[in-house]
Amino acid sequence: MSEMEYGLKVCKALPERKGIHLSNEQGMGKTLLSIRSHLNGLTKTEQKVAKFILDNSQDIIYHSVTELAERADVGETTVLRFCRKLKFQGFQDFKLSLAQDLVKPSDRLYNEVTEEDDASTVKQKVVSMHISSLEQTSELVNHEQLEKAISVLHDAECIHFFGVGSSGLTALQAAHSFSRIGKRTMARSDTHFQAMAASLMGPNEVAVGISISGSTKDTIDNLSLAKKAGAKIVVITSNARSPITKIADIVLLMVARENPLQGSSLSAKVSQLVLIDILNVGVTFKMKEDALKVREVTAKAITDKLY
């Protein structure tokens, strides 16, 4: 008997409990079926998590663990314990399984592009999607937080950019951009080297953490080391209620509604890079002539590299 067949059999045998209705199993993915099959073994608080997920499954794949905990009115540890009881390594592992059940193959690329679209239509929809993300990011960024970020980056003796995976590539680009205006910067791709660099930061330095989900463990751990060392913490994330925001001094929000199957979406990366560019331009204006001189010197340094 398969896991799904077993889940269906158990679900049909269970009575309704705590306001959780056990009908309409047809078409339900194995992850939700697994939740229902485990109901009798869950604590009251874990059942609150289960009910919220069953009632809001389509939205859960876009939530952070903090956001789910808040909306289900439980602690984050309860959510993690719930995931482990369902044999998942953690919340991200659970979300990936749920997304595989819920997201149609045609939706895994871009939500508004269909298989019937020709190349011209795909072009228009993808460009429109990026424009929409940027417009929404512009509306979402808090002006006061943005001003503070520009100020602390301008005053920083050195800026360390932290990120892994796709956000790690953004961190490398950010370090390059700020070095071109004369700021001392650092961005390492290896998380062990990131940890060592973070632990050696000082009060006059700034750590910029980049994470779309706001739940990337390596980035959060390294930012925690930097904060403990006395550095100021700026984070760029799409989740206002996520673990990374709890250690931040300044939070800059960007729009990136991607599910676990859309990791490294270019739409999210564009939003990240635009925020980096806004910060770079803001710091450039504060540095004025000094930034211009550095740009000229660095530009001349590579002129013989071009035909």
pLDDT tens per residue across span 118-147: 888 888 888 887 887 888 888 888 899 999
- Say which CATH topology domain 124-305 has: Rossmann fold (3.40.50)
pLDDT over threshold 80, residue 10: no
Q: What percent of the chain has pLDDT over 90?
A: 44
CATH number of the structural domain 3-104:
1.10.10.10
Domain range annotation of the chain: 3-104, 124-305
CA dist 96 and 42 (Å) reads 22
At a CB cut-off of 8 Å and minimum separation 6, what does 256 contact? 133, 212, 238, 265, 267, 268, 271, 272
Contact 129, 119 (CB under 8 A): no
Buried b (16+ CB within 10 A) or exposed e, 289-304: eebeebeeeeeeeeee
Query: What pLDDT, on the 0 to 100 scale, is given for residue 37?
Result: 66
Confidence band (pLDDT; 50, 70, 90) for 260? low
The first and second tokens of residue 121, run together, are 């239509």
For residue 282, give Cα distances in angstroms to 148, 209, 218, 287, 288.
11, 18, 29, 9, 10
Q: pLDDT tens digits for 93-126?
A: 888 888 877 765 444 444 567 778 888 888 888 8
Alpha-carbon distance 183 to 80, whole Å? Answer: 40
Residue 89: phi and psi, rounded to 5, are -70, -30
Q: Is the pLDDT of residue 14 over 70?
A: no
Mean pLDDT of the chain: 83
